[in-house]
């Protein structure tokens, strides 16, 4: 199986897309009684905090990139070798 590598910018972009999706969908879900407004607010706030954190990390890593603009921080999936930084793991 080929290994999948995500750079910090990929992760930040993904969470920002998810945040936008939640902002579009959750008002309809609240109106349809699929979720409460309190839960919608909490879930949006959690994704917003996650997006901000990952974007700040991506920006910081981008500033430390090499001469070709590549980031030094990646998340490897399906690989035996650990990545330099796994987002979401505690030190």
| pTM for this predicted structure | 0.67
pLDDT, tens digit (0-9, with 9 covering 90-100), for 68-86: 555 555 555 554 444 444 4
What pLDDT is attached to residue 51? Answer: 96
Domain boundaries along the sequence of the chain: 8-69
- What residue ranges of the chain have pLDDT lower than 50? 79-91
Query: Can you spell out the DSSP letters for the chain?
Result: ---EEEEHHHHHHHHHHHHHHHHHHHHHHHHTTSS-HHHHHHHHHHHHHHHHHHHHHHHHHHHT--TT---S-EEEES-SSPPS--TT---
pLDDT value of position 89: 44
What's the confidence (pLDDT) of residue 63?
75
């Amino acid at each position: 199986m080929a290994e999948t590598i995500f750079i910090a910018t990929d992760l930040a972009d993904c969470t920002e897309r998810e945040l936008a999706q939640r902002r579009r969908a959750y008002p309809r879900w609240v109106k349809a009684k699929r979720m409460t407004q309190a839960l919608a607010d909490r879930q949006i706030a959690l994704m917003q905090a996650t997006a901000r954190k990952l974007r700040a990390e991506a920006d910081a890593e981008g500033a430390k990139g090499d001469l070709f603009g590549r980031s030094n921080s990646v998340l490897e999936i399906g690989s035996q070798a650990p990545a330099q930084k796994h987002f979401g793991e505690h030190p």
